[in-house]
Amino acid sequence: MQRVSEMYVRITRTLIRSACPLLYSGGRLHVGLGVRCFANECTSSSKHVSFQSMSWEVRLSDTVTPLWRLNYKEQLRIKHDQQKIILLELSNQLSAMSGVCLPSIPLLPIIPSPVKDFYRNKSTFSINKGVDGNQKTVGLYIGTGKRRNIVCVNGDHLLNMPEKHKLVARCYEDFIRQSPLQPCIVFHDGGHWREITIRTNAAGHTMAIVYFHPQSLPTDEICLHKDSLVEYFTKGPGSVCDLDSLYFQESTMTRCTHQQSPYQLLWGQPHIYEEVLGNKFRISADAFFQVNTAAAESLYQTVGDLSQATGSDTLLDVCCGTGAIGIIMSSRVKKVIGIEIIEQAVEDAKHNASLNEVSNCTFIAGKAEVVLPELITGFGTEGGITAVVNPSRAGLHHRVIRALRNHPVIRRLVYISCKPDGEAMRNFKDLCCSSEQRRRLTGEPFVPTVAVSVDMFPHTPHCELVVVFER
């Protein structure tokens, strides 16, 4: 992995330097292969001064949307070339493992996002010391905690966030600056107000989720502050946001699930809804949903076409989220079985299937590495199974890969990865390597046959890579 990372960094640095010299010489270079961000990478003092002399807005744009200076065609070229490097390295590693020179994996032209600006349907804003030193500043970070140089800058100028998200963030900042409670920046230093997440749909409906550290506040006092929050956003200055849902989560950890600390609906509707490819989906406060809805339609159409699933097949949807892929593909297959670790997402998936009058979908809550091995043994050897996996950046657990690899009826697997250079690369190799008794990878190896990138995140180096494996 170190070798591919170094090569990837070197080539991407060259691509960005040639396409956008200001971005490179400005002291920040955002490179792919996991999109590692090298802050103040340049050692030249003149270059360092050049970066420091930029406005805070430009610096934040370089941090959050590092390709923003490039025209969209150039952004797509850089992303396509990044994925070519990853697939070349995968071919090289598989060749080395097998002792046979394997052909390169065909990479189809990158699929652009239908929407280039203001496309995010979900944004999270943090609280920290701002440019003016005010610790009650709501925005996004420049700098790192390790270097103790974090500055929180408002994101009003960012190209990937819609105006509604920015408006809610500005109002939340106004609210906490009026509040007698302090922000919770470092948990053990006290404070209460934490980040805010805003979700919107194409119809403009808006959900806000406020995170709060209770520390040692009594329950009745927390209730007073919740009432103040509702008052501000429904009758006060924040009413301009026209929220449809306002949630509150008391969280003593960086991230809490609904099971660990329930999301409390303070005001409005419990859900918002989004339509994708003619299907309607319910979105809960913590449910996973692709952040670029228009590009998600392109992604799901691509996955459906590449899967080549037929009416006699069972679709196995691993890491199914709220069931979007399975429900959209349900008309193509005999049956859909979805697995998802987040219980609320599974409830949403079941509701979504009913909402769209889809009767051939079953959704199971649990860890894929626990559920799948037992589930897959019950499939038998009759009928075809097409698998679609869409894991987080951490990739799939080895037990999941082993179950998929060792079941002979799974002839085609579509892997969707937002970070194909990381743990996904390990997954790719385990799917394709020769049989290994020691690791219990005894099934017939898969072969990567085609790949395509889908740009879900314009102005950033990120995209989704879809790889088809067959045997």
User: Is 201 annotated as a binding-site member?
Assistant: no
User: Is 390 annotated as a binding-site member?
Assistant: yes
Residue in 152, 171, 319, 418 annotated catalytic: 418
Show the 3-state SS of the chain: CHHHHHHHHHHHHHHHHHHCHHHHHCCEEEECCCCEEEECCCCCHHHHHHHHCCCHHHHHHHHHCCCCCCCHHHHHHHHHHHHHHHHHHHHHHHHHHHCCCCCCCCEEEEECCCCCCCCCCEEEEEEECECCCCCCEEEEEECCCCCCCCEEECCCCCCCCCHHHHHHHHHHHHHHHHCCCCECCCHHHCCCEEEEEEEECCCCCEEEEEEECCCCCCHHHHHHHHHHHHHHHHCCHHHHHCCCEEEEEECCCCCCCCCCCCCEEEEECCCEEEEECCEEEEECCCCCCCCCHHHHHHHHHHHHHHHCCCCCCEEEEECCCCCHHHHHHHHHCCEEEEEECCHHHHHHHHHHHHHCCCCCEEEEECCHHHHHHHHHHCCCCCCCEEEEECCCCCCCCHHHHHHHHHCCCEEEEEEEECCCCCHHHHHHHHHHCCCECCCCECCCCCEEEEEEEECCCCCCCCCEEEEEEEC
Q: Is 418 a catalytic residue?
A: yes
User: Is 274 annotated as a binding-site member?
Assistant: no
From the annotation, which residues make up the binding site for S-adenosyl-L-methionine? 290, 340, 390
From the annotation, which residues make up the binding site? 290, 340, 390
Residues labelled as active-site residues: 418
